Amino acid sequence: MSEFSGLRRKIWVAFILQAAAISFAAVLGVYGASAVLKHVLIQRALQQEAGHFWERRERDPAAAMPDTFNMSGYLVPAAAPDALPPPLRVLAPGFHSLPRSEGGSLVLVQDRKGQRLLLLFKQEQVDSLAFWFGMAPLALVLAVVYLIAFSTYRTSRRAISPVVWLAKQVEHWDPTHPDASALDPRRLPGDVTGETLTLASSLHAFADRIGRFVQREHDFTRDASHELRTPLAVIRVAGDLMDGDPALSPQARRSLGKIQSAGRDMEAIIESLLILAREDDTGLATEDLPAAEIAAEEIEKARPLVAGKPVELRLHAEAPLNVRAPPKVFSVLLGNLVRNACNYTESGAVDVTIRKDSIEVRDTGVGMADGDLLRAFEPFYRGGDQRKDGHGIGLSIVRRLSERYGWPVRLESEPGRGTIATISFPSVIQT
C-alpha cells in the first residue's frame, strides 16, 4: 500500500477539496463585494452628490463644481456639450464606466433646466478600495484557513496511522500461512490504542485460528489420502483376484460386481472430495492435457457400469483440444459426468464429443424434468429414476470443480430422451 493511497489519500483529497471550496467561496464573495461597492455604493454616492450640488446651485448660482481628490465635475449647457472633453461629449444621461484608455472613471450624467451635470469618480480608487478592503483580508483569511486545514490534516493523519499500519501488516499476510505474530499485542507500536488495539488483537486471534484451520486441513488431506485409499486399494485387488476364480457362483459374481462398482465409486468420490478439501492447488501439478486421451481413459473406467446393458460408449474427437489443468481434477470432473450418464442410461448410447473449446457428454437415459434440472447440482439431490445407483453428489462435485477452475458446465435434459452435459473452456491451448 503506497503512502498516498487508501484512507490517507481520501483524507488528503477531502481536505484539498474543502480548501478549494472555501477559496472559491471567498473569492466569489470578495468579487461580489467589489461589484456592490462599484455599482451600488458609489453610484448611490454620486446620485447623492449630484442632488446636493443641484440644491446648492439653486441657493447660489455661482456654486463651485465638486473637485476633490477622488471626484470632479462639469456643468455645461445640455444643448452644447462641446466644452466637455471628447470622451464625455457623447454620454447620455445615466451611469457610464469609461475604459482605462480614457481615464477609467465612473461617470454620472444628469440634465436639469437646460444644463448637463457630469460627475466623475476615479476608477482606480474603486479598485484600491476593493483591494484593501477585499483582497487583503481575503488573503489573510485564506492563509488562516489553509493553516488550519493543514494542521487538521496532520492530526487526522496521525489518528489513522495505526489503522494504516494495521492494514499493511494484514496486506503482507500469506492466506495459507497468516503471520499472527505480527499482531501480537506485545509487539504493537506504542501509538496503537483504543479501537485499533482492539481490532489488532482480534485480527491476531483470528489469524492464529486460521493458521490452525489451515494446518488441520493439510493434516486431514494427507491422512485421508493415505488412510482411505489404502483399504480401497485392498478391496479392489481382492475383488480382481476373486473375479478370476472360475469356481465363483453366479450369485456371488453378481455380488462381487456390486462390490467392485461401489469401490470404484468410492475411489472417485474420495479423490474428488480430497481435491475440493484443499484451499489451494498445492501439490497438484498443472499440465497440458490432451482431452481425447483423458476422455478415452474415463470411458474405459466406466464400461463396467454398462456391462450387461445394451448401451454403447462412444468417443468422438471432432477437433483437438488441450486443457491446462491438474490431471486429477480434469479426470474427476469428466469421469463424474460419464459415470452419471452411464448410471441413468438403460439402453442406447453415451457419447463423449471433443470440440475445439468444449466437451459434450450426451446420453439416451431417463432425462430430467425442468424442476429436477434446476436442482441437479444440489448436493445429494437425485433427479430422474431415484432407484438408480448413485449418491447424489457427482454433479455437485462437477459444479464446484468447474467454478474453481473457470470451466462453465451447462445441462440440457428432457424426460425420456436423455441429458446433455457441456463443459466449456473459455481459455484453452489449441493445437
Give the single-character DSSP code of 64.
Answer: P
> Is residue 422 pLDDT above 90, yes or no?
yes
Q: Do residues 287 and 195 share a domain?
A: no
> Distance of CA 269 to CAs 179, 200, 209, 362, Å?
34, 41, 29, 22
Residue 148 counted as domain residue? no
Residue 214 counted as domain residue? yes
Higher pLDDT: 219 or 424? It is 424
Q: Do residues 200 and 300 share a domain?
A: no
Residue 147 counted as domain residue? no
Beta strand 409-414 with 418-424 is antiparallel
Q: Where are the alpha helices (DSSP H) in 346-411?
A: 370-374, 394-405
Q: Do residues 209 and 296 share a domain?
A: no
Higher pLDDT: 171 or 323? It is 323
Q: Do residues 288 and 390 share a domain?
A: yes
Mean pLDDT within 385-410: 75
Residue 158 counted as domain residue? no
Could you report the per-residue pLDDT of 356-381, keeping only the tens digit for each?
Answer: 999 999 999 988 888 888 888 887 66
- Domain of residue 411, CATH code: 3.30.565.10
CB 200 within 8 A of CB 209: no
Q: Do residues 231 and 131 share a domain?
A: no
Average pLDDT across the chain, whole number: 80
Spatial neighbors of 324 by CB under 8 A, at least 6 apart, are 286, 287, 288, 289, 428, 429
Q: Do residues 208 and 252 share a domain?
A: yes
Q: Do residues 294 and 419 share a domain?
A: yes
Q: Do residues 221 and 239 share a domain?
A: yes
279, 297, 325 - which closes a domain: 279
State the pLDDT confidence band at 226, using cuts at 50, 70 and 90: low
Higher pLDDT: 10 or 321? It is 321
CB 173 within 8 A of CB 146: no
Q: Do residues 20 and 122 share a domain?
A: yes
State the pLDDT confidence band at 102, using cuts at 50, 70 and 90: confident
CB 254 within 8 A of CB 322: no
Range of the structural domain that residue 226 is part of: 173-279
Residue 239 counted as domain residue? yes
- Nine cell digits for residue 249: 457362483
Spatial neighbors of 90 by CB under 8 A, at least 6 apart, are none
Residue 318 counted as domain residue? yes
80 burial (CB, 10 Å; 0-12 / 13-18 / 19+) is exposed
> Is residue 387 pLDDT above 60, yes or no?
no
Q: Do residues 272 and 295 share a domain?
A: no
State the pLDDT confidence band at 1, using cuts at 50, 70 and 90: very low
247, 279, 311 - which closes a domain: 279
What is the number of structural domains in the chain? 3
Residue type at position 165: W
- Nine cell digits for residue 156: 487526522
CB 274 within 8 A of CB 310: no
Q: Do residues 40 and 109 share a domain?
A: yes
Task: Please provide residue 365's backbone torsions phi and psi, each rounded to the nearest 5 degrees.
Answer: -85, -155
Mean pLDDT within 99-110: 83
Residue 429 counted as domain residue? no
pTM of model > 0.85: no
- Find the helix or strand (DSSP H, E) in which 421 lies: strand 418-424
143 burial (CB, 10 Å; 0-12 / 13-18 / 19+) is exposed
Pick the range with the lowest mean pLDDT from 126-130, 196-200, 269-273, 298-302.
126-130
Spatial neighbors of 273 by CB under 8 A, at least 6 apart, are 397
Q: How far is CA 339 from the centre of its chain?
A: 40
Per cent of the chain over pLDDT 70 is 82
Highest mean pLDDT among 122-126, 176-180, 188-192, 212-216: 212-216
Q: Do residues 288 and 272 share a domain?
A: no
Residue type at position 236: R
225, 256, 279 - which closes a domain: 279
Per cent of the chain over pLDDT 90 is 15
Residue 361 counted as domain residue? yes
What span, in angstroms and rounded, lies between the C-alpha atoms of 419 and 342? 11
Mean pLDDT within 86-109: 85
Spatial neighbors of 295 by CB under 8 A, at least 6 apart, are 315, 334, 338, 352, 354, 359
Per-residue pLDDT at 181: 75
Mean pLDDT within 132-147: 74
Q: Is the dihedral of CA 232, 234, 240, 242 positive or negative?
A: negative
Q: Could you tell me where the beta strands, DSSP code E, fall in 4-133?
A: 71-77, 94-97, 106-112, 115-121
Query: Looking at the DSSP assignment, which residues form a beta bridge with residue 413?
Result: 419
> Is residue 285 pLDDT above 70, yes or no?
no
